[in-house]
Structure 1
Amino acid sequence: MQLSSRGRQMSRPSGIRSIMEDIAAAGRDTDASEWLNLSPGNPSHIPEVVAAWRRLTREALDDRFVESSTRYGPSRGNSGLVEAVADYFNLTYGWSIGPENVVVGPGSQMLSFIATTLFTGPDSDGLVQPLVLPRLPDYTGYQGLGLDPSGIVGLEPVVVPEGRHSFHYAVDTEALARQMRMGMMMLSNPANPTGSSVEPSELKALIETAEQRDVPLVVDHAYGEPFPGVVQTWCAPVMHSHVINLFTLSKAGLPGERIAFAIGPAELIDPMVSFIANSVLHAPQLLQAAVERSLRTREIDALTTQYIKPYYKAKRAMAEELLAKAMPDSMDWRLHSSDGGMFCWLSIDHDWFDDLELYELLKRKQVFVVPGRHFFIEPLTTPFLRTHGKRCIRLSLSSDEWAVAEGIGRLGEALEELRMNARDGE
């Protein structure tokens, strides 16, 4: 049976799918406990956070099971949660939003897909107005959002060195100004994979562009304020007529429950509500009650400030120290400076280095990382993408400390091995 053009677009293989299948296969091995998984973005099981969500879920089960799990609910989200979201953000940031500015969805990935489908694609002249990712590298999941070929455009960043072993990316505002076709812009803040927050001047330029082109700017706060808040510099979300903000409970401890919400102007949120009604009906309801309770009591703030944020701050400091010791000093390697997040993003700038070769070598050493190319836009044909785009890797900080430490040690060994192999082949 033949797939449609959109079916072919949405069923195409992806790098991240192959990696997740590798990890699943490793998990079925009898020696699975020996694998060091520095790959996926699954949040750590912080005991206090796990205990809190278990209790909140049990309370929701006891008090709300019948109304939540045995009945259909509103597509916008349960009224209690929608009102709690509005109250929480009004109190926290001084906003003046109401239920009409909120929609609850089954995960921020789905909300991203909904927004992309609504605001991008062929226009009246048949030309595709694409999703523009203005700050590569960015979350690899965005690359699967477009229903149309050539429906996603990624803008290459400006690479800014910061000493011998550090660097950061900046938004190329000139390239942004030259990008004439766009239906929507999107970025994660702080960024997955780098952990960097968008600079105020960069955000200002993005919002001005959204206004000029009359398109939405979707800002995904999966790792940012107000929860899980794994950032060291305070970066409050912005309420604006051309901005849709996405928030998720995944990195605050509930990745498997697929609860997220979007906040924005009512004229942008209302079509998203209709999309949910026409597709999945509504998000899972029982956990909406648990999230509502966490917002009403502000327990979510305690989990963020007392446990989640300090945990990842300490993990990042530990990883930086381990990398400084394990990475060969004679190599041109750089760690992206970070405001937070749950990852380390490394660039190894040598002709002999290839991210997929390192990935395969580390698998033989029973370590999983993510090749950097998956966070750029295929095809990797420009000079920048052919080189830098294949010379980066992402390390997750979510595994136990011993696994991160051992994995970084094996990374250093693998890099030395790659370099020696390249010399032997000359």
Structure 2
Amino acid sequence: MKIRKELLEQEKISYAMDQIVLPEGGVDCSEGCNPYGFPPECADVLKNFDPARMGPYPHSQALYDAIREFWKDQIDVERGNILLTDGSINALYIINNIFDTHNSVVLGISPQFTDYYMHAEMIGIDYAPYQLKREHNYRFDASEFLSMHYIADTFANVSLPSKSYNFIYIDNPNNPTGQCVDIGDIEKIVKGALKKDITVIIDEAYGDFMPKENSAVQLFAKYPNLAVVRTLSKGYGLAGLRVGYIIAHKDLISYMNKMVNPYMVSELAREVGAEALKHEEFIEKCKAEFAAMKAEIREALYPSVVKKLKKHMDAEYEEIRVHGAASGHLHMAETLDENSLLLLYHDSKTINLSEEFLKRKVLVIDGYDFKGLDSTAARIRLPRREEFPVLLKAIKEINKL
């Protein structure tokens, strides 16, 4: 059999493939889906769905209409700007597959969503990440990124003299840190990339946890080199139904349509997804819970920072937040408080952070699963409020190690 050379030579690393068993009575903080599930109104759609509709191929337009309605206050999205996909991972694979990958390089941010760049490498695209720095609390520096990625002949200390930069991939919010890149910086990146004929992929899988006004969806009409990926797996808690979509210029969508299964997203998933998008208040409640939990984690790790913040000493707080004023040895990377994700990292060079959490019955994602991190870091997806004390207790204990 003639198998792709990349598939023969490379091992796929994906935390989605990890097979760690949750201890009895433990708390799962590993999967990225919403711990609060989906809007309760979606259950009514399931209850009332006519089983006869599962026989024919899916043709419902409800999800297209709901997506257009969802974005109407930001931008007019036409039917031809939307491609439905089986979740956001499938969307990313589709985007990669429409381009000529020969001698191509994708610029990313390290750490970021593993499955994107693993797929890129598997189909022959080189991955050249901009490394977020531990000493800067893994904070994305837009000015540094902008100064590097269009004009340099080297990137991340890797010389690429014979290759051109064809893609930029940014997950916003970032997975695993949960931080958010400002829409102004995103537009600068997309605008600069357009001048160099570079395609920009903005993965907003966790986008429902950031303000809607910060979404790159509002930019697609101005920039034909932009593709924005969204999913209902995270904020809307429908990971099991596999509902995602791409918003882009009609030309890009037309190329994708030539490559894809015309019946992506089942009839049932389309109806449930359409209902979910009507209930943004559900997301707002979840965001408030996550922000409150992160505040408690921050207070446990940085009591002096929180004290100064409460006194509105913003400049001093910023200095301490970036350079560290921890009460122990555990740190929380730059993050958007309303996001369910966060990254913790430890001062010890030998600790396995995910194992320490597992000893305390908390299942997290090992930092080793992300390029640019190791096992001294761990990604955490916040649990439900009633499970949070178990996580917070574990954090406080590990902070003292």
Structure 2: stretches of 5+ with no match in the other structure: 156-162, 304-324
Residue in 1 that maps onto 2:297 = 319
After TM superposition, give the deviation of residue 100 of structure 1 in Å. 1.1
* CA deviation profile, 1:109-142 (whole Å, cap 9, x unmatched): 10011101222511xxxx2x12321x32212222
Residue in 1 that maps onto 2:78 = 98
Residue in 2 that maps onto 1:285 = 267
1:157 to 114, 132, 138: 132
Q: Does 1:275 align with 2:259?
A: yes
Residue in 1 that maps onto 2:397 = 413
Residue in 1 that maps onto 2:46 = 57
Residue in 2 that maps onto 1:44 = 35
Residues 17 and 194 of structure 1: CA distance in aligned 2, closer, same or farther (over 3 Å): closer
Q: Does 1:336 align with 2:330?
A: no
Residue in 2 that maps onto 1:244 = 227
Q: Does 1:110 align with 2:97?
A: no
Residue in 2 that maps onto 1:173 = 146
Say if 2:330 and 2:344, in contact at 8 Å, map to a contact too: no
Q: Does 1:71 align with 2:56?
A: yes
After TM superposition, give the deviation of residue 339 of structure 1 in Å. 4.8
Matched letter for residue 106 of structure 1: D
Residue in 1 that maps onto 2:366 = 371
TM-score under structure 2 length normalisation: 0.79
Residue in 1 that maps onto 2:174 = 191
What is the DSSP-based 3-state SS (H/G/I as helix, E as strand, rest coil) of the residue aligned with 1:138? coil
Residues of 2 paired with 1:9 and 1:43: CA distance? 35
Residues of 2 paired with 1:53 and 1:392: CA distance? 36
Residues 214 and 389 of structure 1: CA distance in aligned 2, closer, same or farther (over 3 Å): farther
Please identify, of 215-224 and 103-112, the stretch whose mean Cα deviation from structure 2 is larger. Answer: 215-224
After TM superposition, give the deviation of residue 201 of structure 1 in Å. 4.3
Say if 1:192 and 1:341, in contact at 8 Å, map to a contact too: no
Residues of 1 paired with 2:381 and 2:29: CA distance? 5
Residues of 1 paired with 2:141 and 2:226: CA distance? 20
After TM superposition, give the deviation of residue 106 of structure 1 in Å. 0.6
Residues of 2 paired with 1:4 and 1:337: CA distance? 38
- Bigger fraction of residues in helix: 1
Matched letter for residue 349 of structure 2: F
Q: Aligned residues: percent identity? A: 16
Q: Does 1:34 align with 2:25?
A: yes
* CA deviation profile, 1:80-122 (whole Å, cap 9, x unmatched): 4224423442x22132x32111110111110011101222511
1:360 to 355, 362, 375: 355
Say if 1:313 and 1:340, in contact at 8 Å, map to a contact too: yes
Residues of 2 paired with 1:120 and 1:341: CA distance? 35
After TM superposition, give the deviation of residue 319 of structure 1 in Å. 3.0
Say if 1:246 and 1:263, in contact at 8 Å, map to a contact too: yes
* CA deviation profile, 1:133-192 (whole Å, cap 9, x unmatched): 1x322122223222335532212135674xxxx662324223312256222222121212
Residues 93 and 253 of structure 1: CA distance in aligned 2, closer, same or farther (over 3 Å): same
Residues 51 and 257 of structure 1: CA distance in aligned 2, closer, same or farther (over 3 Å): same
* CA deviation profile, 1:44-93 (whole Å, cap 9, x unmatched): 135xx45221112333x13xx434x211246xxx434224423442x221
Matched letter for residue 40 of structure 2: A
Q: Does 1:8 align with 2:8?
A: yes
Residues of 2 paired with 1:282 and 1:332: CA distance? 43
Residues of 1 paired with 2:257 and 2:9: CA distance? 25
Residues 248 and 36 of structure 1: CA distance in aligned 2, closer, same or farther (over 3 Å): same
Q: Does 1:130 align with 2:113?
A: no
Say if 1:233 and 1:339, in contact at 8 Å, map to a contact too: no
Moved over 4 A (4+): 158-161, 388-391
What is the DSSP-based 3-state SS (H/G/I as helix, E as strand, rest coil) of the residue aligned with 1:56? helix
Residue in 1 that maps onto 2:244 = 260
Say if 1:34 and 1:366, in contact at 8 Å, map to a contact too: yes
Q: How large is the Cα RMSD of the aligned pairs?
A: 3.0
Structure 1: stretches of 5+ with no match in the other structure: 377-384, 418-426
Say if 2:329 and 2:400, in contact at 8 Å, map to a contact too: no
Q: Does 1:182 align with 2:129?
A: no
Residues 54 and 233 of structure 1: CA distance in aligned 2, closer, same or farther (over 3 Å): closer
TM-score under structure 1 length normalisation: 0.75
Residues 294 and 41 of structure 1: CA distance in aligned 2, closer, same or farther (over 3 Å): closer
Residues of 2 paired with 1:341 and 1:260: CA distance? 19
Residues 362 and 292 of structure 1: CA distance in aligned 2, closer, same or farther (over 3 Å): closer
What is the DSSP-based 3-state SS (H/G/I as helix, E as strand, rest coil) of the residue aligned with 1:132? strand
